[in-house]
Each structure stands twice: as structure tokens, then as C-alpha cells.
Amino acid sequence: MLPVLSILLATLLASTLLTFLSGRWARYVALAGSVVFLVEVLLLLASFTQWAGFGAGGVPQYNDPETYPWISISWLTVNYAVGIDGISLVLVLLTAFLLVATVVYSWREEKEPALWFGLVLLTCLGCYGVFVALDILLFFLFWEAVLIPMFFLIGYWGGPRRRYAALKFFVYTHVASIVMLVSLLAVAFYSGAASFDFTSLYGPARALGATTQVFLFLGLFFGFGVKFPIVPFHTWLPDAHVEAPTGGSVLLAGLLLKLGAYGLIRWAVELLPTGLGHLAPLLYAVAIASIVWGSVVALAQRDLKRLVAYSSINHMGIVLLAIAVGSSLGVTAAVLLMFAHGIVSALLFMVSGSVHHTFGTRDINAIGGITPRTPALSTLVMVGSLASLGLPALISFPAEFGALLAAWDRISYWVLLPLLILVVTAAFYMWLMQRMLFGPPKGIPANVHEPPSFELAAMSILAALIVLYGVVPSLLVQVIVNSPIQGWP
């Protein structure tokens, strides 16, 4: 057996290091590294036919598993343990797509390019690690490894208030990750498992009493929830997005928000199902609050990036709702929506960046009627907006449909709230298009032309993925369902 997952990790590690060292050739190295990574992931996807299934004692097993002892002190064992199932694989695929798109999009980065591309690769390395790690300590290591490069991406390449935004981002997510770590360690200690390994925790953790599970789940929910982000712990997100450079926003919205959701699925819902069962009403309430709040506040935004940021809160609320439902339908829809939102929000942040470069502003009210001057950019704005508001045949629709269908079965008529919010979401995207794309030209500089070809290329890749997976969602769904969710209540 090839140590496939370690090879992938090594690919990212090597390209990160090489990129840091390669000076003005950094972008070529970064592109080569990310394309190699994407090809490897696609090969992995092609070879992923069947999930390993449940092993002895109903413990889920993982494909391409690798376990090497790492730290061993008396009773405590920490392993380098990695493995994938359908859920991880889809998110790794998302990481690979966004890595390539980000590298292509920021092709002409002029401020410290070696550092920039290296940090982008490092962020994706951390995300990859989070998605494949099966040991608490390893998971936490990668989890933290994401924060630091992102801190620098915002704090060094960001907008005018970058230091404030970077610090806010760091403090929020760091406090959350400490709570998360403590809760995970508590899961390990309370369950009395002799290791931090996911598979050996699985049985004992699920056997914990209801009260313990509820408290542990609460801790994990807070820890992962800030990353989602959930209302009211969400205010780091708009600031971070507005100040972050475009590439940073893409990774932030596309990948970092998914870490929280993934963590919740893998480390909270799978390990503590009874806790979820008792806390589900809380999760529904928080999810619906995020859905409503994100959408309503987005309606009032004038800054394109801020608007997309709030719509992210809305979409991640739907993800949380679907996770809280917990059945195979709900979690499949949640993971599909995570993928969809990753691609769609990445596209929307890229068009925000391109609009900013092209017209010198992101204020929706300041420019208008840009379609005749920049038809390609406008088309991409439309594709992104329509995908984000859930148009069928684009990627978000099957996910949102599944999520709300699953939710209907649990919360019945309450599902009308998120449904009606779909109208509000449509409203702010429609209004955005009306103000920015249509109407008589307004606020357009004289020598405006389409964004550079590499930016259009990156955005077109994402737009193509939106249509491809929107028309044939089963390409993803049949991978996602190959995971332990088959046995979930």
C-alpha cells in the first residue's frame, strides 16, 4: 500500500518550502506544486470506489489509513494517524481546486511574491491536514497551522485596517481553538481511551453518559462554531474579509469556514451523538438565527465584499442546520453545501477583487451599468450571484434542497423561516446586480477594460465547476455518502 495521504502531505510541504525559497520564480513553483497536488487528489478521487466501512465493534474505518507512533509516554499515545472517507475526500478536493484557483488568480502578486505564495500553500497544507488527521493532537497541530499563515496574509497584504482585522481574526479563532482543544482532550480523558486516536476514541466516547456528552458537545460546538461562524460570534468574519487581500478572502471563505463544519461533523457529531440529540434544538435555533441574521444584514451592505461575507454567514447557517439534523440526508447535504459554498464564495470574492482593481471601488452604489464595458466580469458576477441564491442547475441548489428537506422532517413548519430567507437572499443579489451591472453607466473610469486574463481564468475555472457540479451533483454525492453517515440516526 502506498502511503497516499502522506505523499499528498509531502507534496504540499515540499512545494511550500520550495516556494518560500524560490524568490521571483515563486509563482511558477507554487503553480507547479498546486497542479501536482490537484492531479494527485483527482487520482485519489478516481481510485476511491468504496468506503472502508465499519470495522469490529461498529467503529468506522478509513481509506488509505496510516498510523505511526509519534509520542508515547506511559499511558498516553499520540499517533500520526491519517485516513479519509467521502466527506474528507470532497473537502480535500475543494482544497485542491481553491489552491489552484488562488495561485492563478494572484499570478501577478508583486508584494513579496515568494512569501505570499508560500503562505497560501501553507494555509492549504493546514486545511488538508485538518481534513485527513485522525488524531486529536495532529488535528490540533494542523488546525493551528492554518491560523498563522492566514494571520499574516490578512495582516501584511490586507487593506487599510488590516492590523485590526488580523488581530480580531486571530483572537477570536484562537480563543475558540483553545476551547476546542480542551473539549477534545476532555473527550479523550473522560472516555478513558488510552489514546488520542479517533478510531480508538470512537467506541468509548459514544458510550459516555448523556450529561457528559452534552457538556462536551457544548464545548466543541463553541470551539468549532466560531469558525463557522455562528451568530453572535461572527463579527470577526466581515472585518477579516473586508480587509483581507482577495486570495486571503478566497481561502478564508472557501476553506477556513469549512474547518469548523468539518470539525463539528467528525469530532463532535460522530463522537457524541447523544449530545447532539439533546442539543439539537439549540443548534437549530443558532442555525436559523445565523441564516436570518446573515441575510438581513447583507441586505444593508454597500461594500461588495461585506455583502458576500454576510451571505457566507447565511449559508453556513444552512450547513449548521443540516448538520444538526444529523441524518445521512442532512449531513450529505451539509457537506455538499460546504463544497458549493467554498466554490461559490471563492468566485464571489474573486469578482469583488476584480471589481475593485478594475473600478477602484467596491461600493455597490458608486458604480453602475458596467455590463457593456466588462461583459466577461459581469457574466461572472451573475454566475456567482445566481449560484449563491440557489438557482437550480448551479451547485448550491441540490445542497440547499437536501438541507431544507432534511430540516423539514425535524423542525416542520419552522423551515419556513430559512425558506423565506431565500427570498431575502435572492433580493440582495438581485439588487446588487440591478445596481452594479444594469442601468445607465455610472462611476466608470475612462480607460476601463476587462480584468487580466489570469484573473478571468481563475474565475472561469470556478464558474465551470459551479455548472458542472450543479448539473451532475451525483459526482460529489456518491463520494460523500461513502462515509460513516450511513449509520447515523
Partner 1 sequence: MSGFDVAFGWAWLIPTLTAVAFVIVGVGGRRMARLEWGGWVAVAFSFAAMVVGILVAIGEMLAPGSYTDSSVTWISIPGSPGTFPNGVQLDIGILVDPISALMLLVVTVVGFLVLLYSIEYMHHDSGLARYYAELSLFLTAMTGLVLSDNLLEFFLFWELVGVCSYFLIGFYYEKPSAASAAKEAFLVTRVGDVLFLLGIFIYFAVYATSGSAPGWAAGGFKFTNGSAPFLAGAMGGNTPLLTVAGLMMLGGAAGKSAQFPLHVWLPDAMEGPTTVSALIHAATMVAAGVYLLAVVSLFLGFTPTDQLAIVAVGGFTTFFAATMAVVNPDIKRVIAYSTISQLGYMVFAVGAGFTMVGLYHLFTHAFFKALLFLAAGSVIHAVGTQDLFKMGGLRKTMPLTAAAFAIGALSLSGFPGSSGFFSKDDILGSVYATLGTHPQYWPFFLLALLTVFLTAYYIFRAWFLAFGGDGPRDATLPHAHEPGWTMRLPLVVLSALAIGAGALVFDPAFASLLPGIGVPPTFRGADLALSAVSVGLVACGFGLAYSFWGGGRVFELSESTWAARVRALLLHRYYFKAGYDWIGLRATYTVARAADFVERYVIDGTVRGFERLFAGLSDGLRRVQTGVVSDYAAYVVGGLVGFLLLLVFLAPWLLQTVGGG
Q: Where does this chain bind partner 1 (CB under 8 A)?
A: 168, 232, 235, 293, 296-301, 325-330, 332, 369, 371-372, 386, 391-393, 397-398, 401-402, 404-406, 408-410, 415-416, 419-420, 422-424, 426-427, 430-431, 433-434, 437-441, 473-474, 477-478, 481, 485-489
Find the shortest distance in angstroms from Cβ 422 to partner 1: 5
Please give the Cα distance from 212 to 275 (Å, whole number): 8
- Residue 226: how many other CB atoms lie within 10 Å: 22
Looking at 60-112, list the stretches that DSSP marks H as alpha helix, in order from N- to C-terminal side. Answer: 86-105
In the complex with partner 1, the residue whose CB is nearer, 229 or 247, is 229
Q: What are phi and psi of 54, to 5 degrees?
A: -85, 135
Beta bridge partners of 54: 60
Please give the Cα distance from 381 to 384 (Å, whole number): 5
Find the shortest distance in angstroms from Cβ 280 to partner 1: 11
Cell of 236: 470577526
Find the shortest distance in angstroms from Cβ 135 to partner 1: 27
Q: What number of H helices and E strands is found in the chain?
A: 19, 2
Asked if omega into 232 is within 30° of 0 (cis), the reply is yes
In the complex with partner 1, the residue whose CB is nearer, 23 or 439, is 439
Residue 111 CA: distances (Å) to CA of 153, 158, 293, 449: 11, 11, 37, 23
In the complex with partner 1, the residue whose CB is nearer, 192 or 232, is 232
Find the shortest distance in angstroms from Cβ 473 to partner 1: 6
In the complex with partner 1, the residue whose CB is nearer, 98 or 389, is 389
In the complex with partner 1, the residue whose CB is nearer, 76 or 393, is 393
Please give the Cα distance from 87 to 466 (Å, whole number): 19
Beta bridge partners of 29: none
Find the shortest distance in angstroms from Cβ 481 to partner 1: 6
Element (H, E) at 40: helix 26-47
Residue the block writes with cell 459551479: 466
Find the shortest distance in angstroms from Cβ 145 to partner 1: 26
Residue 308 CA: distances (Å) to CA of 90, 119, 367, 385: 23, 24, 17, 9
DSSP assignment of 116-144: HHHHHHHHHHHHHHHHHB-BHHHHHHHHH
Find the shortest distance in angstroms from Cβ 486 to partner 1: 6
Find the shortest distance in angstroms from Cβ 326 to partner 1: 6
In the complex with partner 1, the residue whose CB is nearer, 172 or 202, is 172
In the complex with partner 1, the residue whose CB is nearer, 250 or 269, is 269
Closest CA to 38 of 83, 102, 96, 125: 96
In the complex with partner 1, the residue whose CB is nearer, 72 or 478, is 478
DSSP one-letter code for 423: H
Read off the amino acid at residue 379. T
Residue 486 CA: distances (Å) to CA of 85, 273, 331, 395, 404: 12, 14, 10, 23, 19
In the complex with partner 1, the residue whose CB is nearer, 27 or 306, is 306
Residue 130 CA: distances (Å) to CA of 9, 27, 139, 140, 373: 11, 25, 5, 8, 43
Find the shortest distance in angstroms from Cβ 489 to partner 1: 5
Find the shortest distance in angstroms from Cβ 389 to partner 1: 8
- Residue 440: how many other CB atoms lie within 10 Å: 6
In the complex with partner 1, the residue whose CB is nearer, 293 or 349, is 293
Find the shortest distance in angstroms from Cβ 349 to partner 1: 20
Find the shortest distance in angstroms from Cβ 257 to partner 1: 18
Read off the amino acid at residue 91. L
Looking at 192-272, list the stretches that DSSP marks H as alpha helix, in order from N- to C-terminal side. Answer: 198-206, 210-225, 236-243, 246-251, 257-263
